Amino acid sequence: MPMKESFNDRRSFVRSFVAGSALMPGLLQELAAAEGGGADPLAPRQGHYPAKAKRVIFLFMTGGVSHVDTFDPKPRLKADVGKEVKADHPEIQDRPGYERIFLKAPQWEFSPYGRCGTEVSSLFPEVGTCVDDIALIRSMHTDHSNHYNATLGMHTGSFAFARPSIGSWVSYGLGTLNQNLPSFITIAPRQTYAGTQVYASDFLPGAHQGTLVVPGPQPIANVKPRVGMSRQELELAALHRLNRQHLARRSGHALAEARIKSFETAFGMQMAAPEAFDLSGESDATHELYGLERGSTEGFAWQCLAARRLVERGVRFVELIDTGSSGNWDSHGNMMDHVKLAKNVDQPIAGLLKDLKARGLLEDTLVVWTTEFGRTPFNNKADATGREHHNWAFSSWLAGAGVKPGIVHGATDEYGMKPIEDPVHVHDFHATILHLMGLDHEKLTYRHSGRDYRLTDVYGEVVDGVLA
């Protein structure tokens, strides 16, 4: 009886006070607690130790960016072009026409940038102006040379099986800072390799699933309410009580919990999401900084500016996937494709870094730039126009909260074949990102099918060399 009276009191409160407000999701959580429901899976939580970063913007260049043409200068590769080399490489094993391979020269010049003098190629002149804020890792390596597997590995730590995405792990570990927006958002014009698994929660609670945003006039489908907000609040409150009663009879069924939470988050998004993606109030100077035409709702520049607005509003993890009209970075046939691809993202990325820094957000925002693997420093002909997949070595970088700025970590050999100094595996990369978020990658676990799982499997070490 007391529980029933408590619910009626709260329902009256909902009707009389918060109709049309942004408080409904929080109140629904209170109702859930009053009815014996479980703890809110997205409530903000403390990490294992004080965090340097509160949020992440993860920039993923899908397709395989050539490290030797962008962030890893190799003058010896240029000098020895045409030299035959031997390599037991996964991309050429038993491949007709690749019985002999030859060094292929980089096609763009490198120049030092900033006070630190980090060398960057002419493909990324705008990012080059930001190197004093960047920790560049030139010794990345990964386990697989197939797009699907390498992309899966970069996002989930697993190269063969579906596992939760890194964004889902961060959401699971830390919750959200804004109950009216998802804790994890992926912005992509179209799916990349590994499909929805790059933002899936898999066996983690469904509340930590990434929300896909597709650039365009309506980034999130069906976000506009079809009935008045006051009526919808009442309907949702009634539905919530019925859902909790249903759940109580099923011992905390995970799918039911996820569905209930999805209703709450969806309601909050109807109020918060349209404002977050409305860029009309941004100044002309800001649009120019990102290279974004006023009124445009597409392109990587739009993705970057939207990401800044989302992290400002408390979204914990935002991933931007470069799958726009320029295609992807899989330049087997023609490395000159890198020109249009780089031009599409160079200014927006630099604009994002500069904008975050100017607003004081870079101090507690971690910006990650990566791809799934690099591209071969060789081909079956020295004058081949493209490069093949190369999982042995590639480049990634970090900027922002807790990152040592203006440094280069690790090195590859004289041709960019393999790391020879401070190699960084994908598991190490993930461990470092989690560390900066205040999470111990060995302690962030979830029990599933009789064992404890984690993002880094049973591997990974924090890369201390990139930490401030």
Predicted TM-score of the model (pTM): 0.87
Element (H, E) at 67: none
Query: Cβ(438)–Cβ(52) under 8 Å?
Result: yes
Are 346 and 213 part of one and the same domain? yes
Query: Cβ(127)–Cβ(350) under 8 Å?
Result: yes
In 336-422 the beta strands, taken as DSSP E runs, fall at 365-370, 374-375, 378-379, 389-390, 394-400, 407-409, 411-412, 419-421
With H, G, I as helix, E, B as strand and everything else as coil, classify residue 269. Answer: helix
DSSP sequence for 101-148: EEE---SS-EEEETTTTEEEETT-HHHHTTGGGEEEEEEEE-S--SHH
In the prediction, which pLDDT does 327 show?
A: 79
Query: Cβ(187)–Cβ(316) under 8 Å?
Result: no
In the prediction, which pLDDT does 265 show?
A: 63
Q: And the tokens for 463? A: 């890369």
Are 57 and 161 part of one and the same domain? yes
Are 31 and 47 part of one and the same domain? no
Are 309 and 426 part of one and the same domain? yes
Strands 118-121 and 110-113, by their bridges, are antiparallel
**β-sheet with 101-103: strand ranges across:** 84-85, 101-103, 378-379
CATH number of the domain to which 392 belongs = 3.40.720
Are 200 and 242 part of one and the same domain? no
Write out the chain's pLDDT in tens, 468 residues: 333 334 344 433 333 333 333 333 444 344 333 334 457 888 999 999 999 999 999 999 999 999 999 999 999 999 999 999 999 999 999 999 999 999 999 999 999 999 999 999 999 999 999 999 999 999 999 999 999 999 999 999 999 999 999 999 999 999 999 988 999 999 999 999 999 999 999 999 988 999 999 999 888 876 666 555 566 666 667 777 777 777 777 665 666 666 666 666 666 677 778 899 999 999 999 999 999 999 999 999 999 999 999 999 999 999 999 997 777 999 999 999 999 999 999 999 999 999 999 999 999 999 999 999 999 999 999 999 999 999 999 999 999 999 999 999 999 999 999 999 999 999 999 999 999 999 999 999 999 999 999 999 999 999 999 999
Are 343 and 200 part of one and the same domain? yes
Are 125 and 53 part of one and the same domain? yes
Q: Which among 465, 440, 437, 436 is positioned nearest to 455, based on CA atoms?
A: 440
For 73, left (φ over 0), alpha (ψ -120 to 50), or beta? beta
Q: What single-letter amino acid sits at 17?
A: F
In the prediction, which pLDDT does 238 show?
A: 73
Say if residue 391 is exposed, middle or buried (CB neighbours under 10 Å; 0-12, 13-18, 19+). buried
In the prediction, which pLDDT does 228 show?
A: 57
List b or e across 417-444, with b for residues whose CB sees 16 or more CB atoms inside 10 angstroms: bebeebbbbbbbbbbbbbbbbbbbbeeb
In the prediction, which pLDDT does 248 show?
A: 74
In the prediction, which pLDDT does 270 show?
A: 72
d(CA 35, CA 30): 9
Q: What single-letter amino acid sits at 166?
A: I
In the prediction, which pLDDT does 232 show?
A: 62
DSSP sequence for 158-172: -SSS----HHHHHHH
DSSP sequence for 223-256: -S-SS-HHHHHHHHHHHHHHHHHHHHTTTS-HHH
Are 126 and 166 part of one and the same domain? yes
In the prediction, which pLDDT does 220 show?
A: 80
Q: And the tokens for 233? A: 């609040």
Are 333 and 453 part of one and the same domain? yes
> Could you tell me how far CA 36 lies from the centroid of its own chain?
35
Query: Cβ(103)–Cβ(81) under 8 Å?
Result: yes
In 173-328 the beta strands, taken as DSSP E runs, fall at 184-187, 211-213, 317-321
With H, G, I as helix, E, B as strand and everything else as coil, classify residue 306. Answer: helix
Are 207 and 97 part of one and the same domain? yes
Domain containing residue 98:
43-220+279-466
Q: Which among 213, 168, 210, 186 is positioned nearest to 60, based on CA atoms?
A: 186
d(CA 318, CA 315): 7
d(CA 76, CA 126): 26
In the prediction, which pLDDT does 175 show?
A: 95
d(CA 109, CA 140): 22
Secondary structure percentages of the chain, helix, strand, coil, to 5:
35, 15, 45
Element (H, E) at 70: none
d(CA 373, CA 421): 18
Longest dimension (CA), the chain: 85
Number of folded domains in the chain? 2
In the prediction, which pLDDT does 38 show?
A: 54
d(CA 21, CA 58): 32
Query: Cβ(307)–Cβ(351) under 8 Å?
Result: no
Are 133 and 239 part of one and the same domain? no
Are 366 and 401 part of one and the same domain? yes
